[in-house]
């Protein structure tokens, strides 16, 4: 049910956040349409957590505009009722049980579906009466997600939710998330420094590097806009004039280019290939990691 006309749930324009002399986020302009599961990807320190905190109203921008669900984020109940935020450090009380958490949630939230949490935990075989501190990391993450979904948020913001989980727990967590999204009316933005964690589940991508947005859009559209060119070592000025060069690998014999296409490529010396999501992300990250001149890079993905 994806359409380019879907209304924006997240919209930022020239958003910036500075902490004293450090720029945590610079000139960030993104749009996440309704119903997307969007991957917020970037190396550690790229500004992912800062962006999520700004969107959740937990920090105030030092420049630019944000609209989340049509309003500026602010720490008041009316705004927060529509947002589910799961921080990197999962906010659970270790000595309390899952059942205790469900009861607390019912007191703190106007809308609250405790039954769904109980059913979900029973389905996963997670004990309701046991202290949360005795559960496994995967079980705690599942509990936190179920609690976050119980308030029926329209936007879910997740900061590195699967980073600490083993592969099976990761898969189960993402399946739980995908199932919640299948119900409709939910938009998700989840961060990770590993694309492979999120590749299957995401249909939208926001790529941050060095506090700036490198890419933002629907995955299918981004892949269609880019292309890999493989050819002999030769002057590529003409290609660079007609298209946007993202990343280049030059060996004495061969040139491999990742370009953002501006119409068809008609140089017969180059073979064209579709770009994979991983190549795309690594190309943009590598471009940033090695400075402003992509032509000097030694390998796709640089030092990733």
Partner 1 sequence: MISFRLDGRSVVPTYLQIVQQVRQALRMGVLDVGDKLPTVREVVAATAVNPNTVLKAYRELERDGLVEPRAGHGTFVVGRPSGPPPGTHSRLARSLAQWVRSAREAGLDDESIESLLRITLRAAAEEETA
With CB under 8 A as the contact rule, the residue among 202, 215, 257, 258 that binds partner 1 is: 202
> 48, 40 in Cβ contact below 8 A?
yes
Q: Considering only the stretches 42-50, 71-79, 199-207, 293-301, report the one whose residues sit in contact with partner 1 under the rule CB under 8 A.
A: 199-207
With CB under 8 A as the contact rule, the residue among 60, 200, 233, 296 that binds partner 1 is: 200
Strand partners, 242: none
Torsions phi, psi for 64 (to 5 deg): 85, -175
**Nearer CB in complex with partner 1: 91/137:** 137
How far is CA 192 from each of CA 138, 205, 217, rounded to the nearest angstrom?
Answer: 16, 11, 17
Given the structure tokens 């280049």, which residue do they identify? 248
- Count of residues touching partner 1 (by CB under 8 A): 22
Q: Determine if 152 is a binding residue for partner 1 (CB under 8 A).
A: no
Q: Considering only the stretches 101-109, 130-138, 167-175, 295-303, report the one whose residues sit in contact with partner 1 under the rule CB under 8 A.
A: 167-175
Residues 6 or more apart in contact with residue 125 via CB below 8 angstroms = none
Q: How far apart are CA 227 and CA 302, in angstroms?
A: 18
Q: Determine if 168 is a binding residue for partner 1 (CB under 8 A).
A: no
Q: Determine if 234 is a binding residue for partner 1 (CB under 8 A).
A: no
Structure tokens, 190: 């989840």
Q: Considering only the stretches 152-160, 195-203, 233-241, 264-272, report the one whose residues sit in contact with partner 1 under the rule CB under 8 A.
A: 195-203
**Nearer CB in complex with partner 1: 49/197:** 197
Q: Determine if 183 is a binding residue for partner 1 (CB under 8 A).
A: yes
Q: Determine if 286 is a binding residue for partner 1 (CB under 8 A).
A: no
Q: Considering only the stretches 44-52, 105-113, 169-177, 290-298, report the one whose residues sit in contact with partner 1 under the rule CB under 8 A.
A: 169-177
Count the helix, strand and coil residues of the chain and give each as a percent rounded to the nearest 5.
35, 30, 40
Give 131: exposed, middle or buried? Use CB within 10 Å, 0-12, 13-18, 19+: middle
Q: Determine if 32 is a binding residue for partner 1 (CB under 8 A).
A: no
Nearest to 211 by CA among 5, 8, 64: 64
**Nearer CB in complex with partner 1: 201/265:** 201
CB of 199 to partner 1, least distance (A): 5
Residues 6 or more apart in contact with residue 48 via CB below 8 angstroms = 40, 41, 42, 159, 160, 191, 193, 208
Q: Determine if 221 is a binding residue for partner 1 (CB under 8 A).
A: no
Q: Determine if 1 is a binding residue for partner 1 (CB under 8 A).
A: yes
| Cα-only R_g, the chain | 21
**Other beta carbons less than 10 A from residue 9's beta carbon:** 24
Q: Determine if 217 is a binding residue for partner 1 (CB under 8 A).
A: no
With CB under 8 A as the contact rule, the residue among 14, 72, 108, 175 that binds partner 1 is: 175
Q: Determine if 276 is a binding residue for partner 1 (CB under 8 A).
A: yes
With CB under 8 A as the contact rule, the residue among 104, 178, 238, 295 that binds partner 1 is: 178
Give SS3 for 160.
coil
**Nearer CB in complex with partner 1: 54/282:** 282
Q: Would you tell me which residues interact with partner 1 (CB under 8 A)?
A: 1-2, 35, 37, 171, 174-179, 181-183, 196, 199-203, 274, 276
């Amino acid at each position: 049910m994806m359409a380019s006309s879907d209304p924006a749930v997240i919209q930022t324009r020239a958003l910036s956040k500075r902490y004293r002399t450090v720029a945590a986020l610079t000139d960030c302009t993104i749009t996440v349409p309704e119903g997307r599961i969007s991957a917020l990807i970037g190396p550690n320190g790229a500004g992912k957590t800062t962006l999520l905190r700004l969107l959740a109203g937990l920090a105030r921008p030092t420049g630019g505009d944000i609209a989340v669900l049509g309003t500026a984020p602010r720490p008041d109940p009316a705004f927060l009722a529509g947002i589910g935020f799961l921080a990197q450090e999962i906010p659970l009380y270790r000595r309390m049980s899952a059942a205790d958490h469900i009861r607390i949630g019912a007191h703190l939230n106007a809308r609250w579906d405790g039954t769904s949490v109980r059913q979900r935990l029973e389905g996963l075989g997670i004990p309701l009466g046991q202290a949360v501190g005795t559960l496994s990391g995967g079980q705690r993450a599942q509990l936190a997600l179920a609690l976050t979904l119980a308030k029926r948020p329209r936007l879910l913001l997740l900061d590195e939710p699967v980073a600490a989980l083993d592969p099976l727990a990761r898969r189960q967590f993402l399946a739980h998330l995908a199932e919640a999204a299948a119900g409709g009316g939910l938009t998700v933005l989840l961060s990770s420094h590993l694309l492979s964690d999120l590749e299957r589940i995401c249909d939208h991508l926001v790529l941050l590097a060095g506090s700036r947005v490198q890419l933002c859009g629907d995955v299918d559209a981004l892949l269609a806009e880019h292309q890999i060119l493989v050819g002999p070592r030769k002057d590529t000025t003409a290609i660079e004039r007609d298209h946007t060069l993202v990343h280049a690998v030059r060996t004495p014999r061969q040139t491999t280019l990742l370009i953002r296409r501006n119409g068809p490529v008609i140089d017969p010396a180059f073979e064209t290939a579709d770009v994979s999501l991983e190549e795309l992300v690594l190309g943009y990250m590598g471009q940033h990691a090695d400075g402003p001149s992509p032509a000097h890079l030694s390998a796709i993905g640089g030092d990733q």
